[in-house]
Structure 1
Amino acid sequence: MQNFEQIGLIPRSIVRTLQRFLKQIGLKTDLFAIYEFRVSRYIAIASLQCFCFLIICPWVFQFFIRFCIFHFIPLTPEIFINFHQQEQAFSKVQTFSQQIYFETLLKSGGMIQEEHKIFQDYFLQCADFYHQQSITIITNWILDFTTILFFLFLLIISTPQILILKTFFIESLLSLSETTKCFFLIFFLDLLVGFHSSKSWEIGLHALIEHFGISQNQNFIAFFISTFPVLLDTIFKYWIFRYLNKISPSTVATYQAMIE
């Protein structure tokens, strides 16, 4: 007695064809997931390499230029290269003179010869200190200028890698949760343009002025601190309204709710 297969409403050939099609779709899905994982891994590795390349290469280049300056290019500038150094030296000498004069009044007997020797040694120390400071300032100008040019050269020759790094950075930011993105946004805004940021700007500006040996102007410093953070705050608010609101409106809504 022969066994007959049951005949359904849909022919078995069509069912088998659909099953093979679904298996192929599943296989393609797995292959696509593997391909997507490989692309993501390549982007992450390339971004890390580009970031390290842009950080380490300028540092090594600056170290090499500094070595060449101190060993092959002798710098013999004047003792003072700006008026601010002269004011500092005069203030130190005046304070030291008053201290020595007060100490000689407390001591009995003539101390003219010893006092002259003390003044001479102190003047030589001041001259050597400000001479070394002038050398450091000139070296800073040379190092920073050449390093900036070298960094711009790296940006030009690494344009494809920088595009990959930019894509990776944007995707990493967008993958964060809304509260995390708002936390970083509020943190950096308060750090740069917050109520207590003026003191940080003042300290940073003084450090930059001393680094390049520029004569300090208190009026300019006060004007810069009172206007530049306001300008940055306006730019950030415009960026949030114009661009971030299009890219991630939920982040803007969460940000507004957090600051309120």
Structure 2
Amino acid sequence: MENRAIPLHRRIRAAIEDKILSGGWPPGTRIPAETELAATYNCARMTVNKALTELAADGLIERRRKSGSVVKRPVLQSAVLEIHDIKAEVEAAGFAYRYRVERQKVREATRADCDRLQLDAPVPVLALTCLHLADNRPFCWEDRVISLSAVPQAQDASFDHQSPGAWLIDEVPWSAAEHRISAVAADASLSALELTPSTPCLAIERRTWNADKPVTHVRLIYPGDAHALVARFAPSKAG
């Protein structure tokens, strides 16, 4: 039964948000016009406008004068609390970007994979390792697992010209993300970075979800003397 205690604009917002987060309306999809939505929900256009305004404030849609609203693509920035595209990060620094897949394998999730994805039981996963380069010099080592239960289309995806991270940003909606940042020492597993043993490195681990489904876990390793993370904060307002 429809919950009449919830304001109509909140119900409209929830319906649109569900379509976006479920992947039914991928990035770039044009949202129906306010007049069309008002007719669908048998309400005033102002009610629809309020729902769309809230969605825009949360960064889920972009409102454009005269051309309507579209589902927004995630912002690509190199910041601690943002999901960013390594290619954009390299090119923003003025370097030529290139990457290559070192390993790509579909397998049943191992115990380590289940821990990384926070899975209760094993599912098929796609495991990848990639090397990102800036001006043909090693820039970042990527070790990623993708849950094929949450993202079955990843099994047949081609990563010849687009890295797994960029592909996920474009193709798969996410509703929550978790970052973990630590310092590690270079060892034999990071030989592709061409570092001497014990060189300090910066490790970023990120886990994302779509609703309650784990999507991916990635470990990104950067040479410590060539990378920094920046985040901007504002003091909270008292009261």
- TM-score scaled by length of structure 2: 0.21
More helix by share: 1
Larger Rg: 1
Q: Higher relative CO (CA 8 A, sep ≥ 6), structure 1 or 2?
A: 1
- TM-score scaled by length of structure 1: 0.19
